[in-house]
Amino acid sequence: MKVSISGKLRQRCRRFTVLVLALVALGGLYTALAPSSAAENSAVDTAKRGTTVAEGKQLFEQGCISCHGFGLQGIADRGPSLIGVGASSVEFQVGTGRMPAARQEAQAQRKPPQYSDAQIAALAAYVQSIGGGPQIPPGNLRGGKDDIVLGGELFRLNCASCHGLTAIGGALSSGKFAPSLEDATDRQIFAAMQTGPQSMPAFGDNQISPQQKKAIIAYVQSMKADKDPGGFGIGRTGPIPEGLVVFLVGIGVLLVATLWIAGKS
pLDDT for the residue 186: 97
Q: For domain 137-226, say whether CATH 1.10.760.10 is its number.
A: yes
* b/e code 166-195 from CB counts within 10 Å (16+ = b): bbbeeeeeeeebbbebeebbbbbbbbbbbb
Nearest to 64 by CA among 98, 107, 88, 96: 98
Q: Report the distance separating Cα 190 and Cα 136, nearest Å.
A: 7
pLDDT for the residue 118: 95
pLDDT for the residue 189: 97
- SS3 track for 209-243: CHHHHHHHHHHHHHHHHCCCCCCCCHHHCCHHHHH
Q: Report the distance separating Cα 236 and Cα 55, nearest Å.
A: 45
Q: Where are the domains of the chain?
A: 137-226
- Cβ atoms of 176 and 106 closer than 8 Å: yes
pLDDT for the residue 195: 96
Q: Encode pLDDT of 160-193 as tens digits.
A: 999 998 899 988 888 889 999 999 999 999 999 9
- Cβ atoms of 121 and 52 closer than 8 Å: yes
pLDDT for the residue 3: 47
- Cβ atoms of 95 and 121 closer than 8 Å: no
Kindly give the parts of the chain with pLDDT less than 50: 1-3, 36-46
pLDDT for the residue 151: 97
pLDDT for the residue 24: 72
Q: What is the CB neighbour count within 10 angstroms for residue 155?
A: 22
- Cβ atoms of 81 and 140 closer than 8 Å: no
pLDDT for the residue 40: 44
What is the separation, in whole angstroms, between the first and last Cα of the chain? Answer: 133
Q: Report the distance separating Cα 211 and Cα 154, nearest Å.
A: 12
